[in-house]
Structure 1
Amino acid sequence: MTLSTPTRPERAGPRWSPAQWGLLFVLAGNMLIDALEVSAALVALPRVGADLGLAAARLQWVVSGFAVGFGGLLLFGGRLVAILGRRPVYLAALLVFAAASLAGALTDSATLLFATRFVKGFCAALTAPTGLAIIASTFPEGPARSRALSVYSLFGAGGFSAGLLLSGALTEAGWRWTSAFPAPAALLLFAAALRLIPRDAPAAEAPRRYDAAGAATLTGAMLLLVAALAAGGRHGWHHPTTLLCFTGAALLGLGFVRLELTVREPLLRLDLLRHGPLLRSALGAGALNGSYLGLLLVLTLQLQQRAGYSPWQTGLAFLPAAAPLALTALYSGRIVARFGPPRLIAAGAAAAPLGYALYRHDGPQPSYGTDVLPTLLLVGAAFVLAFTAFHVQATSSVAPADQAAAGGLYQTSVQLGAAVMTALCAALLPTGQRTVLHLITAVGLLGLLVALRGLVPPRAVPERKGQ
């Protein structure tokens, strides 16, 4: 999931022109498409697996491929925008997204399907932060920008819920429609964006180096890590392929760190990791998003394959976890301002593992009312309480000049958590659902421990005598 920082809507200020409204709905509409990509794919997974003959260890690439493309190339996408300009990058990303959607719908190759998901994730990495930048440059600071960000956030939060319903309906006709339907929507947005997105030129202080090596090593490390987890589920954890992928991921990860420490204009300033609130937000949000998607992966397969749910019924069943965030998106900034990020994060981080622990996983078929629903309601409450607070804490803990970099690091961690957990849960499914749900609960508890650390006030440094 992706969610920008909502702000409290203001009513004062001049009315917007039709062009401003049109631009905002183009940007918000694209944010909605990006957000529903994950939920739409989740509901369709059993049908994709049955049609292409894929076990869970490979099927998870439909979800994790998008997450790796998004998270692995998010920082590089920001660099492309800074050097090439917002308008050309945004327009190109919409066209490529539409083409990848059609290619994924038409292919019978699992590898090509996974590749299109990766490409679509990269396109989302280009358009999501660029949309925020366009809003910041088009709407003046104050009430106008606050209203624009509120609308943008509402579309992003509602996209996941919309994807559940839309995918449930489309998958009944065939899973390929879930991949194809974003193509015409993206082309319509492209046609409108041609007229509405203002032309811009790179800023004078913009970086001049792409740091393609940094982007390649980071993305390669994430891809090999997911590949290692998938290989472990298919071939065993001591198989040469599994060990080779783990080794390659570690080497590329170390190579990325070395590059970022030595390159003149790094994609990621590693000194940002010394900011405790930013690091806790990145780890906590990654744990929450990853454990949530891991749960939905398990429930999707269980409800459709064991309980006989249709895709439409599955989408409806998941709404209690997704809809509360959409319904409260316009007020989440106000809630964070009143209670403060650390307390909301701790409350949300406690609700999620409680929900996971309540889910009974030893019966032949789950009962929706007593098993599934309480868990989903608690997870939905966790996102309402914590997800916006995570973003606020991450970006407000650094200097204003570093907030964009902090936001990129934070979102990368959120997507990495999604990719790793979906791959690991799929790999462990053959060992039994109990094991997978124990893992999901453990990751949720890890997020709670990180959140509780944020409630401890920092220790004051004692002054030396004589100073």
Structure 2
Amino acid sequence: MKPSTLGPAGPSRPVSGPWSAGQWGLLLVLAGNMLIDSLEVSTAVVALPSIGRDLALPLSALQAVVTGFALGFGALLLFGGRVVGRFGRRRVYLAALLGFAAASVAGGLADGPALLIASRVVKGFCAALTAPTGLAIITTAFPEGRARSRAVSVYAFVGACGFTGGLVLSGLLTGVDWRWTFLFPAPVVLALFAVGLRLIPADGPGGRARPCDPAGAAALTGCLAALVTGVVQVPGRGWDSPLAAGAFAVAALLLGVFVRAERRAPDPLFRPGLLAHRGLARAMLGAVALNGSYLGFLLVATFQLQTTEGWSPVRTALALLPASVPLVLAAPFSGRLIDRFGTRRLIALGAPAPLLGYLLYLRALTPQPAYATEVLPTVLLVGLGFALGFTALNVQATAGLPAADRPVAVGHYQTAVQTAAVVAPALVTALLIASGAPAAEPAEGYRSALWLVIALGALGPPAALLRPVRRSGPGRAAGRRTPARP
């Protein structure tokens, strides 16, 4: 009789051969939750104008609906890894699913900005607990080799599809009621919880739990939140207003608290020494340019097309959809592309494409822009940049690092990505407010915000072209031709 590979308590060890029904079910739970996490990045963007009209929220508050998720994800990602290490993957993963469902209901029923934004932060923290943990569970439940590679590929492909699906789903649900964009994950996540309760494996014997460092995590989260608050208040109130000046002062104070807490911590969350590895530093800068500029562009395009041009949420979502399609199509072949061309070449080829697209979008800042000639080229070029650079940047972040440092490096890399997703939309929002957008007629009020997006995108090519540190021996080409693979 063939032994079961998965049961209520999970597998004791990965077993080679065809996947069992339990393994398929486990992958369904993990990939399904990854899909929900990815959807959350984009579902709120298209809904923002409708939320603003319904709740009478200014643009300064609306941007926090987007940045709140990234704030909870990025600022608490390193802390979340410590929580998982202390309390166990299974326990934390299941608790995070319940927290995500509860926050989804709270956000969908919110009648003001406080609860809506708070629910987004909570969902971001839950994603910080489940996204990396799901990948770790795969490595223990599936045997090393082809079976694990297939499982990781499915996991990554579903995540890539999530952003695409989020745009379309947001447009469709917002056409009914924007609240459904926040409510719909709740029943899905609860179903994943019910299945995962049986299939998510129990934790095997582990090493000593590392300190969680809640002081450092709280200080970093508060610092970013205060910084964003100050940035979006400046256009309407001025640099010397009590709210803006106070927010910047709090951000500076909390940054000092974070630095001091990290220096005193026996096992700090943040390890500056890792940034001396040029491959990681280049990957972080490239990801900041790619992710930050794209989210800023989505804000500009969404408000221009919906508020100024009068497009419906569905039409706006479909107009932006082609930006995500190339990544979805390229995801299954990303490993082969990296093996063939190396991470550095792919990043160097992909980085200029979004920058060129944003420059071309300057032509669309006119009344009644033509989609085929003025909007679509930008969308396709951004998609090309993601298709070439997204996976390559992730791989480059750990290439050439010792195996023991790679999990920490991934955490630092993802923190940089999500920090860009917090700061970039806030800066774009501040410029939109200062220039009179989204009420500007015609769309000239969006020009200064788009130039900021262009400046962020311009960081990508230099990051790609910086030469890696040369090493002697077999590891010399690690960041170029033989990247480390997850």
TM-score by length of 1: 0.93
Question: Which residue of structure 2 lines up, in the alignment, with residue 96 of structure 1?
Answer: 99
Among 420, 429, 433, the alignment partner of 2:446 is: 433
Any conservation in 1 of the 2:364–2:370 contact (CA below 8 Å)? no
Fraction of identical pairs, as percent: 58
Question: Which residue of structure 2 lines up, in the alignment, with residue 463 of structure 1?
Answer: none
For residues 160 and 402 of structure 1, the distance between their equivalents in structure 2, rounded to whole angstroms, comes to 29
Among 55, 59, 64, the alignment partner of 1:56 is: 59
Among 137, 152, 160, the alignment partner of 1:134 is: 137
With over 3 angstroms needed to count, the CA separation of the structure-2 counterparts of 1:203 and 1:347, relative to structure 1, is: same
Question: Which residue of structure 2 lines up, in the alignment, with residue 323 of structure 1?
Answer: 325
Letter matched to residue 76 of structure 2: L
1:15 partnered with 2:28: no
Letter matched to residue 328 of structure 2: A
* Superposed CA RMSD: 1.5
Structure 1 residues without counterparts, runs of 5 or longer? 1-12, 461-467
CA deviation vs aligned residue, 1:418-453 (integer Å, no higher than 9, x gap): 111111111110312110011100111122222221
Q: How does 1:194-233 map to 2 (within 5 A)?
A: 194-200=197-203, 203-207=206-210, 209-233=211-235
CA deviation vs aligned residue, 1:374-418 (integer Å, no higher than 9, x gap): 001000000011111111000123211011000000001001101
1:156 partnered with 2:169: no
Question: Which residue of structure 2 lines up, in the alignment, with residue 407 of structure 1?
Answer: 410
Any conservation in 2 of the 1:57–1:233 contact (CA below 8 Å)? no
For residues 202 and 171 of structure 1, the distance between their equivalents in structure 2, rounded to whole angstroms, comes to 46
CA deviation vs aligned residue, 1:260-315 (integer Å, no higher than 9, x gap): 22311111222111111101111110121010010011111111112221111111
TM-fit CA distance, 1:459: 9.4
Any conservation in 1 of the 2:353–2:382 contact (CA below 8 Å)? yes
The answer to which of 416-425 and 196-205 deviates more is 196-205
Any conservation in 1 of the 2:285–2:459 contact (CA below 8 Å)? no
Any conservation in 1 of the 2:278–2:469 contact (CA below 8 Å)? no
Any conservation in 2 of the 1:28–1:151 contact (CA below 8 Å)? yes
For residues 471 and 205 of structure 2, the distance between their equivalents in structure 1, rounded to whole angstroms, comes to 43
Any conservation in 2 of the 1:30–1:189 contact (CA below 8 Å)? yes
The answer to which of 62-71 and 309-318 deviates more is 309-318
Question: Which residue of structure 1 lines up, in the alignment, with residue 289 of structure 2?
Answer: 287
TM-score by length of 2: 0.89
For residues 363 and 204 of structure 1, the distance between their equivalents in structure 2, rounded to whole angstroms, comes to 60
Question: Which residue of structure 2 lines up, in the alignment, with residue 339 of structure 1?
Answer: 341
Any conservation in 2 of the 1:73–1:215 contact (CA below 8 Å)? yes
CA deviation vs aligned residue, 1:314-360 (integer Å, no higher than 9, x gap): 11111110111111111112111211111111221111111100112
For residues 437 and 65 of structure 1, the distance between their equivalents in structure 2, rounded to whole angstroms, comes to 22
With over 3 angstroms needed to count, the CA separation of the structure-2 counterparts of 1:457 and 1:72, relative to structure 1, is: closer
Question: Which residue of structure 2 lines up, in the alignment, with residue 39 of structure 1?
Answer: 42
3-state SS of 1:337 partner: helix
With over 3 angstroms needed to count, the CA separation of the structure-2 counterparts of 1:174 and 1:15, relative to structure 1, is: same
The answer to which of 224-233 and 211-220 deviates more is 224-233
The answer to which of 421-430 and 175-184 deviates more is 421-430
Larger RCO: 1 or 2 (CA < 8 Å, sep 6+) = 1
1:444 partnered with 2:446: no
Point out 4+ residue stretches in structure 1 off by more than 6 angstroms. Answer: none
Question: Which residue of structure 2 lines up, in the alignment, with residue 275 of structure 1?
Answer: 277
The answer to which of 243-252 and 19-28 deviates more is 243-252
For residues 32 and 365 of structure 2, the distance between their equivalents in structure 1, rounded to whole angstroms, comes to 42
For residues 396 and 122 of structure 1, the distance between their equivalents in structure 2, rounded to whole angstroms, comes to 27
Any conservation in 2 of the 1:217–1:255 contact (CA below 8 Å)? yes
Question: Which residue of structure 1 lines up, in the alignment, with residue 481 of structure 2?
Answer: none
For residues 409 and 447 of structure 2, the distance between their equivalents in structure 1, rounded to whole angstroms, comes to 36
Any conservation in 2 of the 1:28–1:152 contact (CA below 8 Å)? yes
3-state SS of 1:158 partner: helix
